[in-house]
Structure 1
Amino acid sequence: MSDIIMQIQDIVKEFPLADGSTLRACNGISIDVERGETLAIVGESGCGKSTLVKTIMNMHAPTSGSVIFRGKDITKLTGEEKRQNYRHIQMVFQDPTAAFNPKMKVRDIICEPLRNFDLISKADVDAKARELLKMVDLPEDFAGRYPNNMSGGQRQRVAIARALALEPEIIVCDEATSALDVSVQDTIIELLVRLQKEKGITYLFICHDLALVHLFCHKVVVMYKGEVVERLNGDALAEAQHPYTKQLLSAVYNLER
Structure 2
Amino acid sequence: MRQIILDTETTGLSPRAGNRILEIGCVEVLNRQLSGHNLHHYINPQRDSEEGALAVHGLTTDFLRDKPTFAQIAPEFLDYVRGAQIIIHNAPFDVGFLDAELALLDLPPFSEHVAEVVDTLQMAKELHPGRRNSLDALCDRYGIANAHRTLHGGLLDAALLAEVYLAMTRGQNSLTMDLGGGDEEGADGAALELAPLADVIVVAAGEEDQRLHEDVLNQLDKEVRGACVWRFEPPPPEEAPQA
Give TM-score, length-normalised by structure 1: 0.26
Tell me: higher relative CO, structure 1 or 2? Use CA pairs within 8 A at least 6 residues apart: 1
More strand by share: 1
Give TM-score, length-normalised by structure 2: 0.27
